[in-house]
Chain A
Amino acid sequence: MEAPDGSTLRDYLALLDALSVLCPFTEPVRLGLYALPIRGPGRFFGGEEAVLDAVAHTVRDAVGHEPSLGIADGLFCAEIAARERVLVAPGMTDSFRRAQPLGALGRKDLVTTCRRLGLHTVGSFADLERARVAERFNTHALVLHRVARGELSELATQRDQKLGQRLARLRGEGERRDEQVGFFGGRGAGDDRAQEAAHRVRRRLGASAVVVASLRGGRVPEDRATLVPWGSPAGNARDSAPWPGRLRAPSPAMTLQHRVVVQLRDAADKAVVMGSRGFLSADPTTLLFSSQVRRDVVWHAGPWPSLERWWGSSRRRAHLQLVLGSGEAVLVVCESRHWWLVGIYD
């Protein structure tokens, strides 16, 4: 039950922030429920159970009671696992799902009808042919059938569609609200002087020599930065927090406009590649530029895959932070089987 004074939402946001420190891809699902891609942070905490310990610890610190945690593939099974406090091993999610009672799919009419057919588990419903489901049940059931078969990883009703907006609004209230002014809006003498100076540089070097920067929504620094020639019409891009799975501060002081292809090598000088499940093939020990310049990698964090990758699929990217032997830190991204240097923490 949500308290009328908004404290439920505030508490939820506070815990979201605390969990995001642990794992930058913590997702708000609905009040009382969060999802974390366990296989990312697992590496740093020494296995899945260690991550669960860290999560439980964070929750205890934040709200004072024990959370109900579980692990499984996909939001549908993950929620059941969490409720029942079980850890479903990799590859076992399928049988876990099939063993669930039909009620797990959340529709009483489906349970009643199926019981008459002698079907009691998600698995037995999944075994029905799609055509038979279409003929005997309504359209809702077709979607549920796909969930039961594991073709869809979550039920539409699991997520609170308005939660993101509500959290954004809540976060916005706490911050100073700037009135949206044009680039030279609210003009003063200083603005006029700056404008003249920018004109002088443009006359010297050309129209695109002077640029201005702004932020827009996005997950990673290179998506969030906008640099446009000074004097071009202001875009309507706004940075609307929170962006799920945003790479947290600090961000690289240099973000390369044209990313640079690099290679990561392991101790045996073999290329480090990203597996389809978000693992690195080995720990990177060398960063190799196309100029054949080699730099030692002494520490790395990540990979942080794009969030879409975990509960669905679209653009596949994974970011990795590296600290090099001489003390510099850099941000690299894996996309289309290549590694790219995208940022330098100068």
Chain B
Amino acid sequence: MLPLGEPWNALVPKGGLRRGSTIVVQAPPGLGGLSLALSLVTEASTKGHWAGVVGVDDPGVVAIAELGIDLRRVLFVPRPRGAWAECAADLLDGVDLLVVRPPSRAAHGAARNLMERVRERGTVLIALCEPGAPWPLPADLSFNITQAEWATSSRLDARYLTVRIGGRGEAARVGEHLVVLPNRKGRAAAR
């Protein structure tokens, strides 16, 4: 298991990410999907695990650091062009968690190969998708952002995300949760 930080450790079965599993984060563009996917990496990163980020064109480095991720152990492939699945496969052997944002709808075959490889290597795959281009296969664990609302004062303070968590097996108990991401410190938090 790879560790999860707050608030996720209280919301998912066994409080962590099972090695070899595939996690899908689905959100409309710009509504917190990227922050959510990255926040799943935070705790493992602080424990010394390596992470890869494929297909995120313009990573907000400051925000990633604010989440608590150790930048010294993150490899970015911002623009894999057509080869996102191949790049992801290349990186799988070298990192413990891999965040992938396919530039378009992921093909069935590519997704299946990648998930098989993830199972073999014991990596954790976090696929970030939009509702219009969903991940083509069922995930072990899924996070669906259904609503995002900003709390503001004289600036952007915090964002409240309504997240449906579901999946296979133990994770099948669907739950809807309200989490704060990012909060005033840029981190994920329970409400």
Contact = CB atoms under 8 A, between A and B. Distances in A.
Nearest to A193: B94
Given A301-B156, A346-B30, A211 B149 contact: no
Interface in B68-112: 71-81, 83, 86-87, 90-96
B50 interface: yes
Contacts of A193: 50, 93-95
Given A201-B87, A204-B90, A213-B76, A221 B63 contact: yes
Interface string B37-54: 010000000001110100
> Quick one: which of A41, A302, A329, A330 has the most chain B CB within 10 A?
A329
> Quick one: which of B35, B71, B78, B155 has the most chain A CB within 10 A?
B155
A195 B154 CA distance: 44
Interface stretch (B1-9, B10-18, B132-140, B181-189): B181-189
Contact size range, B = 35 or more
Interface residues of A, number: 58
Interface string A15-45: 0000000111000000000000000010011
Contact of B93 (A183, A196, A251): A196
A22 B154 CA distance: 7
B156 A212 contact: no
Contacts, number: 196
A86 interface: no
Interface string B147-168: 1111011111011000000000
Given A196-B94, A250-B158, A205 B60 contact: no
A329 B148 CA distance: 10
Nearest to A54: B154
7 contacts: A201-B77, A209-B87, A210-B77, A213-B71, A225-B60, A251-B62, A329-B150
